[in-house]
Amino acid sequence: MQADVDDIKTEFIELGYSMQSELLRFFRRKLSNKHDAEDSLQELFIIVNKLDESIIEKIEDSRCYIFRIAHNLVIALFKKRLKEARINSELRNINDITYTASSPEVIVEVRQKVELLKEAIASMPQKRRDIFLLYRFGKMTQVQIAEEIGISTKGVEKHIARALEHCRDWLKHRGG
- Give the 3-state secondary structure of the chain: CHHHHHHHHHHHHHHHHHCHHHHHHHHHHHHCCHHHHHHHHHHHHHHHHHCCHHHHHHCCCHHHHHHHHHHHHHHHHHHHHHHHHHHHHHHHHHHCCCCCCCCHHHHHHHHHHHHHHHHHHHCCCHHHHHHHHHHHCCCCCHHHHHHHHCCCHHHHHHHHHHHHHHHHHHHHHCCC
In a domain, 129, yes or no: yes
Higher pLDDT, 153 or 93: 153
In a domain, 7, yes or no: yes
Q: Please check whether residues 115 and 69 belong to one and the same domain.
A: no
In a domain, 88, yes or no: no
In a domain, 10, yes or no: yes
2 pLDDT higher than 60? no
pLDDT per position as a tens digit, 100-128: 555 677 777 778 888 888 889 989 998 89
